Structure formats: C-alpha cells, structure tokens
Structure 1
Amino acid sequence: MFGSAGAEQQIDNASEFTQPMQDIVTRICFGEIWQRPGLATRERSMITLAMLAALGKEPELKVHVRGAIANGVTKEEIREILVHSFLYCGIPAMVGSLRAAETVLNEIGA
C-alpha cells in the first residue's frame, strides 16, 4: 500500500511485542494478498475502505485513507465510498468513517 519503504518503516517501528503481528501483516496482507493479480492497488484500496467502514474500524480506516490517496483514489471517491456505506452498513458507520477520513484528508492537505 505504501511500497517497500513503508513496509520497512512499519517493521522498524514495531516493538519486540508487536513484531510477530507486523511480520504477518507485512508478509501476508501487504505481500501476498495486496500483490495478487486481478485487482489494481487502487481498487483494493477502495474495497478496503468500504470493508473498514462496514466494520466500524475508524483507526484502521485512517491508515487506509492515506494509502488510498497514495494509490490514486481521489478525495471525492473516498467520500462517495463512505456515503455509499450508509445503504449497507448504517448511519453510524457512515458518520464515523466520514469523520475519520476527513481528519486524515485535512492532515495530509488533500
């Protein structure tokens, strides 16, 4: 999602306690799964935002908003994905996700 430099930074920032989790996330999630053929990283980012909104996982959604922007998803597309989540996930999921996304978009100047 953030390239090899981003993965290395996550590994370097992991504590001894969180190292096993970071290894799994880096190898399996961002290695094997995100690198599979069939979907572009942009599409994977969009799907991930929708799933995180559905689950109400705003802290992870914030991380993935940054990744989505890096993968070419526009601010407007992010908004529409999260507004669309209302239909299938409910108002609280949409509201929380939009607030989390807006925080990150403001932080990065998008």
Structure 2
Amino acid sequence: MNEENLTNKERYARGIEKLKELSGGSETGGAGGEMVGWLNEIAPDVSKYAMEFVLGDVLSRPALGTKTREMLNIAVLTAIQAPIELKLHINCALAAGVTRDEVIEIISQQIVYVGFPIAINGLHAAKEVFDELDGKA
C-alpha cells in the first residue's frame, strides 16, 4: 500500500470504512461513532485528523488484523491511563471478536508492568463498558 498516493479525501473515506468496521457497521453508532460526533462538535479539525490519520492511515495498515491491533490498544491505553480511549477501544475490541475474558486478561497482565492501581483503573473501565453493554449502566 503506497500511502503517498492517497488524497486526504481517500484517507478520510478509508477512515470511515475502518470506523464502520470498529463500530459494528455504523458510521455514527457505537463508541467510535459517538466519539467522532462529539469531537466533531468541539474540535472539527481534530476529528478530521483522527479520521484521516488514526483510522485511515494507522489503524488501516494491513500487517496486523483488527483483533490483534485492538488487543494491543487495550494494553497501551491501560498503561498510559487513557480511560476515555480505553473504553472506546474495549468496545472496538469486542466488536472485533475479542472476548470479555481476554479483555480482563490483557488489562490484568499490566499489573506486572505498570502496577496494581493502574490495572485496577483499567479493569474499572472494562466493567463500565460491560455494564453499558448489559444495560446495567
């Protein structure tokens, strides 16, 4: 894939396709669509950058499958303590076929590297996502 030949419009379109994949087929639904919506309201340029660069370029790269990429995202977002993005990517991971048990294990594994408090925060984010999906939130 030669990234240099893509226009911003093509990158944006590819980002939309990736967003649909991560949000269960909807451009505006799911956690990803919700985030793009509110981000577009407050910072349209940042929303555009996210669509073109994050979704259109980085998350669309072919070397890793979506499931693997989302598992990595959960680990990193737990470690850097980014709860909003973590919850978003837990939803994306579940949509990509990652199980709840795998989500818990990925976050629990972080105890070794970043400590209990950070891993506990990550597990709390996972519980919030699971509760929302189960209609308990």
Q: Who wins on radius of gyration, i.e. which is larger?
A: 2
Match of 1:103 in 2: 128
Match of 2:117 in 1: 92
Equivalent position to 2:89, from 48, 64, 68: 64
Match of 2:14 in 1: none
Match of 1:5 in 2: 27
> Following superposition, which runs of at least 4 residues in structure 1 exceed 3 angstroms of deviation?
6-13
> 5+ unaligned residues in a row in structure 2: which ranges?
1-21
Quick one: higher RCO (CA 8 Å, sep 6+), 1 or 2?
1
1:32 aligns with 2:54: no
1:49 aligns with 2:74: yes
Question: What is the DSSP-based 3-state SS (H/G/I as helix, E as strand, rest coil) of the residue aligned with 2:52?
Answer: helix
TM-score, reference length from structure 2: 0.72
Task: Work out whether residues 11 and 19 of structure 1, in 8 Å CA contact, stay in contact via their aligned partners in 2.
Answer: no
CA–CA distance in structure 2, aligned partners of residues 11 and 83 of structure 1: 29
CA–CA distance in structure 1, aligned partners of residues 37 and 78 of structure 2: 28
> 5+ unaligned residues in a row in structure 1: which ranges?
none
Question: What is the DSSP-based 3-state SS (H/G/I as helix, E as strand, rest coil) of the residue aligned with 2:63?
Answer: coil
